[in-house]
Amino acid sequence: MLRYYETEGLLKPKRTAGGYRDYDLSELRTVERIRLLGAAGMTLATILKFLPCVRGEGLAFEPCDELRDVLHEQIRVADQKAAELAQSRKILQSFLQEVERG
């Protein structure tokens, strides 16, 4: 996964004299954030676009108005998906009740 992130331009680890990749703590935090944003539905292309907002030494994201707008949109999409799943669950529950009644 780390090499893939590097290939996609998401990570730029330092290299040792022997050519090995050397990931520091800030890179590991970046990886954690990339994975969390990806798990939340954000594409790697979008993450790459806003990577300067994601990098940093602290636990919080750097201030970035564009990222804020994208995150609001991702939350809206997640809420819509949650509503659709809730509706699907209701339908399935209705079918199950009918089946269990015989």
pLDDT tens digits along 16-31: 999 999 988 888 888 9
Asked whether residue 61 carries a pLDDT value surpassing 80, the answer given is no
CA separation (Å) from 64 to 45, 46, 68?
A: 17, 14, 6
Give the CATH number of the domain where residue 45 resides. Answer: 1.10.1660.10
Give the least confident one: 3-7, 16-20, 43-47, 58-62: 58-62
Structural domain count, the chain? 1
According to the model, what pLDDT value does residue 37 have? 86
In sequence order, what E strands does the chain have?
14-15, 21-22
Residue 44, domain extent:
2-101
- pTM equals 0.65
Residue 62 backbone phi and psi in degrees, to 5: -70, 150
